[in-house]
Amino acid sequence: MNSVFSEEILADKLSKLNSTQQCIETLSHWCIFHRSKAEMVVTTWEKQFHKSEMTQKVPLLYLANDILQNSKRKGNEFVAEFWKVLPEALKNINQEGDDCGKNIVSRLGN
């Protein structure tokens, strides 16, 4: 696992994220490995989310979901941080997204 962490490296990884399971899981594991930087991870995720096109927002939601699902057993750092930004992100997709995006939000919300 690459032990170097910076906001720039994360922003680059987020900008290259796609919807494949492997891509999402790889970045999720990298973020969880750096869980001591959870606040910066989520802040950077939020910036990327709000400047992305709708098609890029879906993989970012999948990433957030994967991080949340897989980090819980190691601590609640990500839960606390994502709780601050996810409601607004989900609202954004519900208001501006297409049916596909809205269906994904509906599935992730359950």
- Residue 110 binned pLDDT confidence (cut-offs 50, 70, 90): low
pLDDT (0 to 100) of residue 99: 76
93 pLDDT exceeds 90? no
Q: How far apart are CA 110 and CA 107, in angstroms?
A: 6
Residue 91 — very low, low, confident or very high, per pLDDT cuts 50/70/90? confident
What global pTM score does this model have?
0.89
Q: What pLDDT score was predicted for residue 95?
A: 83
Catalogue all structural domains in the chain, each as residue range(s) with its CATH number. 7-109 (1.25.40.90)
Contact assessment for residue 12 and residue 30, using Cβ atoms and an 8 Å cutoff: no
